[in-house]
Amino acid sequence: MSVAPTLGVVIVPARGGSDLDAALAAVEWADVRAVLAVTHAPPPALREMTTFVRPADVAGLGAAWALVLFEHERILPDAVDDLRAAIADAPADCVFTLPVMTSLLDIDLRLRRPIARLAPRGTPLALGGGLSLAFASRGPTRALDVTIFRARGATLDRAVELMGAEAGTLAGLVDRLGAPRGVVRQSVRAALRVLTARAVRPPLGIGRWIVAVFEGYRVVVAYARLWERRRDRVVEDA
């Protein structure tokens, strides 16, 4: 009788760790839980909470397979069996794509393209168009019908408050992993993901456009944060 492969979850502290407790509690079913070290020096409070793995070395997770979630992303508990069943007979180099449902200002949208967030240990992470974090596929890719639910903020004030923290995390990921060039191009691509998404709960009036602007602006702020970090390093090294 073969032994079932272990499944770990890596949480990306997209909001500076403000929702990290809840995010880790939501994946108690995982064989291993860890946090992605987005910054070069994770805050002491976060270091004391859990194990960290580097973006370029998710192999350090200690599980055969890794599922990556941002701290504001969730999967339903009853989908865990589907995850384990999928990896039980998957090739050692297979990457799974999962559909994404995003919610902002009470507007629910299912993104048209699924995202590669489940992969074997050692598969590198990369930032794609619109600064979307996913595993870089080196072998076969399979679609898995396990939805990632992404909460951006139910009110305008909350959405604006969270944007700064999320943009800072994206800047850290760009700094560690690199990203496609072109601030405007990546901002537009992020917005287009929303404009082409399927509305699960139809937005009123210009609601979809408002969400698209938020997604695009988040990318612009991320590049601005990155520019600020690099400028400060130049000043420190001078």
Q: What's 16's DSSP letter?
A: T
Close Cβ partners of 192 (under 8 Å, ≥ 6 residues apart): 130, 212
Q: Which domain holds residue 34?
A: 1-238
pTM: 0.88
- Amino acid 155: pLDDT: 83
pLDDT at 56: 64
Give dist(CA 142, CA 69) in Å, integer: 18
- pLDDT given for residue 49 in this prediction: 47
134 within 8 A of 100, measured Cβ to Cβ: no
What's the helix, strand, coil split of the chain in %, to 5?
40, 25, 35
User: Based on the structure, what is the number of domains in the chain?
Assistant: 1
Per-residue pLDDT of the chain (238 residues; tens, 9 = 90+): 467 899 999 999 888 777 888 998 999 999 988 888 776 555 555 554 456 666 666 766 788 999 999 999 999 999 999 999 999 989 988 999 999 999 888 889 999 999 999 999 888 888 888 989 999 887 889 999 999 999 887 788 888 888 888 888 888 888 888 887 888 899 999 999 999 999 887 677 788 888 899 899 999 999 998 888 888 877 776 6
3-state class (DSSP) for residue 127: strand
Predicted local confidence at residue 1, as pLDDT: 47
